[in-house]
């Protein structure tokens, strides 16, 4: 399915794109706000101790923080109140973040550069906001299958477009929900980062996959998925094209991985049948998570896509959904071992979590 797209420009020059379910695009008004220029001073610095890039964007200190509902910047512009979306209604909207960690126009402002082992570069890339619905009170789990399918198609569209941006090495689609998880805007939305490097987690997974291939000749993700399907004890839900399971070495109190049965590297590689089946199992999975403690669960849904140039053919698309809530009235905070050393201690056995999610 190819969504109907309408591109426009906001008052400060940022791109905004409407994605519509039908031909009726609603009223596409011009953004008449008076906005300051978007900062392009974001930079990234090389950590020689961990051999990782760290992004630095001090202008993000001024970003919008937990506004009341009637001041939400992601709602449509109605009754004279102007927001980030000039239209009075929309299905799905994508726009460049007003407070980006990565920017196509990023340039160094002279800060840093005094350490011989710490390389400093402009944080060239792109950060986008994806508004899933114009309804402020709607959760992703509340979307109709057709609307959710539109979001999947938007992820695919943006992955293709951003992968073509010069210097971009990886595209990351994700959703964060809940103040407990650190969300500062409660409107149903996600984000997309187009990184100028391969992220640490992806790099580590690629290293593990390469080691597994050298050792066994097999594909690591395929073998993990096959093992979970054969066991079945940690499988939460499945259909013809997808399998959702709690990983055997889960780090978070609630963590579910969602894999396509056919190995693909990115969301655009999914065919229509796989996208339709994804919508069914994904909406079901989100509903199960919310029933776990009879409340809207704070979570992060992270879509792991292979890097733009996967020369060694090691990537395997999958989603990782996890929450810091470990009971109805308790949150998991990163303790010393986890925050200081990266060595996780899990609060619940994966088999118990999977059984509970199946029951729900």
d(CA 94, CA 160): 14
d(CA 296, CA 178): 8
| CA 97 to each of CA 193, 307, 343: distance values in angstroms, whole numbers, following the listed order | 10, 22, 33
Q: What are the CB-based long-range contacts (under 8 Å, 24+) for 354-360?
A: 354/233, 354/234, 354/235, 354/236, 354/245, 354/246, 356/292, 357/236, 357/237, 357/246, 357/256, 357/288, 357/289, 357/292, 358/235, 358/236, 358/237, 360/288, 360/291, 360/292
Note whether 15 and 9 are within 8 A (CB).
yes
At 314, list the tokens: 């090691």
The residues that bridge with 14 in the sheet, in sequence order, are none
CA angle 38, 44, 48 (to 5 degrees): 170
Question: Which of 187, 189, 212, 241 is labelled catalytic?
Answer: 189
The residues that bridge with 246 in the sheet, in sequence order, are none
Q: Would residue 221 show up in a list of annotated catalytic residues for this protein?
A: no
Residue that the structure tokens 């059984």 belong to: 355
Task: Give the CA-trace dihedral at 66, 320, 244, 315, to 10 degrees.
Answer: 150
- Residues forming the active site: 189
């Amino acid at each position: 399915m190819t969504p109907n797209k309408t591109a426009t420009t906001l008052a400060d020059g940022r791109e905004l794109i409407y994605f519509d379910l039908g031909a009726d695009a609603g009223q596409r008004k011009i953004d008449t706000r008076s906005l300051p220029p978007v900062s392009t001073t974001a930079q990234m610095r090389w950590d020689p101790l961990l051999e990782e890039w760290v992004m630095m964007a001090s202008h993000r200190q001024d970003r919008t923080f937990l506004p009341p509902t009637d001041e939400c910047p992601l709602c449509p512009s109605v009754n004279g109140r102007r927001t980030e979306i000039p239209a009075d209604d929309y299905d799905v909207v994508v726009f460049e973040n007003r407070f980006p960690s990565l920017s196509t126009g990023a340039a160094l402002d002279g800060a840093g550069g005094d350490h011989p082992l710490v390389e400093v570069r402009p944080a060239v890339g792109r950060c986008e906001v994806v508004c899933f619905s114009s309804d402020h009170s709607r959760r992703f789990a509340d979307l109709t299958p057709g609307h959710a399918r539109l979001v999947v198609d938007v992820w695919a569209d943006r992955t293709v477009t951003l992968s073509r941006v010069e210097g971009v090495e990886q595209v990351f689609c994700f959703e964060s929900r809940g103040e407990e998880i650190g969300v500062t805007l409660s409107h149903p939305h996600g984000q997309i980062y187009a990184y100028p490097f391969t992220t640490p987690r992806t790099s580590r997974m690629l290293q593990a996959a390469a080691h597994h291939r050298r050792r066994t000749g097999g594909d690591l993700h395929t073998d993990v998925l096959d093992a979970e399907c054969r066991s079945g004890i940690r499988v939460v839900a499945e259909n013809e094209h997808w399998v959702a399971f709690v990983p055997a070495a889960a780090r978070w109190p609630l963590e579910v991985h969602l894999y396509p049965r056919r190995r693909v590297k990115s969301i655009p590689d999914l065919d229509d049948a796989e996208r339709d089946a994804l919508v069914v199992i994904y909406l079901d999975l989100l509903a199960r998570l919310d029933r776990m403690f009879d409340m809207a669960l704070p979570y992060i849904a992270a879509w792991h896509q292979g890097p733009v140039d996967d020369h060694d053919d090691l990537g395997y698309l999958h989603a990782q959904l996890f929450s810091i809530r470990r009971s109805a009235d308790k949150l998991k905070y990163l303790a010393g071992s986890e925050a200081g050393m990266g060595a996780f201690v899990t609060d619940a056995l994966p088999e118990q979590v999977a059984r509970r999610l199946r029951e729900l």
